[in-house]
Amino acid sequence: MPSITDPAGYWDRYGRGVADETPEDALKNAFGWCQYEGHGPGDELLGDPLTTLELGHGRGNAVAALATMGITATGVDLSPVQVEAAHARWGELANAHFERGDVLDFLITTNRRWDAIYSIWGAVWFTDPNVLLPAVLDRLAPGGRLVFSHAPHIPDTTTGAIGMWAAGYTGAQVAMARWSYHPDQWTELLTRHGYTEVHARVLPAPDPANVGTLLVESRRRR
Ligand SMILES: C[S@@+](CC[C@H](N)C(=O)[O-])C[C@H]1O[C@@H](n2cnc3c(N)ncnc32)[C@H](O)[C@@H]1O
């Protein structure tokens, strides 16, 4: 597979396609792990954090929702389009902070720690977990949580890095990868990298015939 040539450009194109909402509308159901609005658990999976970090915040709605609760909420995102849009929508909100960059670069160059680090269909899906999981663990406060969601693995297909042509089949050769595993494989990966209290599952869709959500909870030891 060709190397990943332009991930920021891919996410900028994606970000330009995200519908604009008023801040009031964006805050309704802003924090959810699922692709179905108002479905499934919410921010209670983060525990009772004073500080949070979102990996791949997109428009920043979840960061904003946490900030309105008094949490010092930070997000990091690769896409300049998404980061600018988050600043434009939430820049006035005290406690909401948005950083531009690749999550790995960000995690390995900061000396900060967070009570909870999370990702909602975000950067965890697009980053090699064998590199990302140690970097996140290092930046979690003792007892801190890593929680993330994205699409479940497609049964009877190969797990691991799944390549895709990100600019379509008639466009430039922009190669991207998503890392996809079954819940028991996420449990093994997280446990091997030193996480504890791992709970990985697929949450059914409201209509169980539709695609569910992979949801993974874990902690750093106290
Ligand atoms: C599908 S969007 C989800 C955004 C948001 N979490 C939401 O639920 O609306 C994925 C986001 O992850 C960001 N992203 C992907 N890979 C990343 C990386 N390596 N570092 C930082 N952000 C990344 C993208 O720029 C994009 O904004």
Give nearest CA residue, ligand 1 atom 16.
Answer: 123
Q: How confident is the model at residue 3 (pLDDT cuts 50, 70, 90)?
A: low
The CATH number of 7-219, from 3.40.50.2300, 1.10.1060.10, 3.40.50.2020, 3.40.50.150, is 3.40.50.150
In 3D space, the residue among 181, 72, 81, 204 whose CA is nearest the CA of residue 132 turns out to be 181
Give nearest CA residue, ligand 1 atom 8.
Answer: 120
Q: Which numbered atom of ligand 1 lies nearest the CA of 7?
A: 16
pTM exceeds 0.85, yes or no: yes
State pLDDT tens for residues 138-176.
Answer: 999 999 999 999 999 999 999 999 998 888 888 888 888
Best mutation site among 13, 78, 128, 131 for ligand 1 pocket (most ligand atoms within 8 Å of CB)? 78
- pLDDT at residue number 116: 98
State pLDDT tens for residues 17-41.
Answer: 887 788 888 888 889 999 999 999 9
Residues in the chain: 222
- pLDDT at residue number 1: 45
C-alpha to C-alpha distance for 29 and 31, rounded to whole angstroms: 6
Residues 6+ apart with CB under 8 A from 116: 46, 47, 49, 51, 52, 53, 140, 144, 145, 146, 147
Kindly calculate the radius of gyration of the chain based on its CA atoms and give it in whole angstroms: 17
Provide the residue ranges of all domains of the chain, joining segments of one domain with +: 7-219
* 39 touches 205 (CB < 8 A): yes
Mean pLDDT calculated for residue range 104-116 = 98
- Ligand 1 contacts CB of residue 32 (under 6 A): no
Angle between the N-to-C axes of helices 80-90 and 7-16, in degrees from 0 to 180, rounded to the nearest 10: 40
